[in-house]
A = this chain, B = another copy of it.
Amino acid sequence: MAIQTVERLSIYRRALEELHNEAVEYIFSHELAQIVGVTPTQLRKDLSSFGSFGSGAKGYNVRELIGVITRLLGTDRLHNVALIGVGNLGKTLLSYRGFAPRGFRVSVVFDVDPVKVGRIFAGRRCYHIDSMDEVLAKYSIDIAILACAPDNLQEVVDQLAEGGVRAILNFVPTRVTPPPNVHIEEIDVSAKLEKLAYLVSTQELCPPDEPED
């Protein structure tokens, strides 16, 4: 399955869950496509890449589709997540309500600040980064979120990999090279903003063709 499809599945599922809550049982591709902002063809292609679920008369069964996508994304089982760094961003992530319903549990947090180590943040014990190996195993962590200072980031990543972490979500605007068999996703707010700045400034220079009024 195409990796881009995977990214969209997550969006489809969220929309489908809302529809399910509104007691919608069936939906057509053009309706769901409208909601999530893709073309109906795109949506059908995505879904057809892992099976046939639609019926000509009623469209797609909402509940069934949610189940299939959930299994496919691997979010039917619980993922234990480690958070690295309990600064502003880390605390915000700890309070985010969107993880639990999708099978993610931030089980443990790490920091280097001696003031924070040993304390409990939103119910999670904060460990020192140096004790990572044992703690990762103890909580059977397989995903980590980086929300720490950029110093020694590669080292942290390598330690995580050694501890069995296979996927990392990186909020730190520093690029690290992924250890073997470890997937890294970057979330780079500044880069996104700068992209927007570019789009805004070029739009000023070359306004999109529209009929003069």
Interface residues of A (CB under 8 A from B): 3, 6-7, 9-11, 13-15, 35-37, 72-75, 77, 79, 81, 88-89, 91-93, 95-96, 98-99, 102-104, 142-143, 166-169, 173, 175-177, 181, 183, 185, 187-203, 207-208
Contacts and interface: CB of A to CB of B under 8 A. Distances in A.
B200 A142 contact: yes
A203 B161 CA distance: 14
Given A185-B196, A197-B167, A36 B175 contact: yes
User: How many protomers of this protein does the assembly include?
Assistant: 2
Given A11-B175, A14-B173, A183-B200, A194 B96 contact: no
A198 B72 contact: yes
Contact of A88 (B37, B77, B95): B95
Contact of A197 (B73, B194, B197): B73
Q: Which of A37, A81, A201 has the most CB of B within 10 A?
A: A201
A195 B185 contact: yes
Contacts of A75: 194, 197
A75 B199 CA distance: 11
Given A79-B197, A183-B200, 14 more contacts: A3-B195, A6-B194, A6-B199, A7-B191, A7-B195, A73-B198, A74-B200, A77-B201, A88-B91, A88-B92, A143-B196, A143-B197, A166-B200, A185-B195
A102 B190 contact: yes
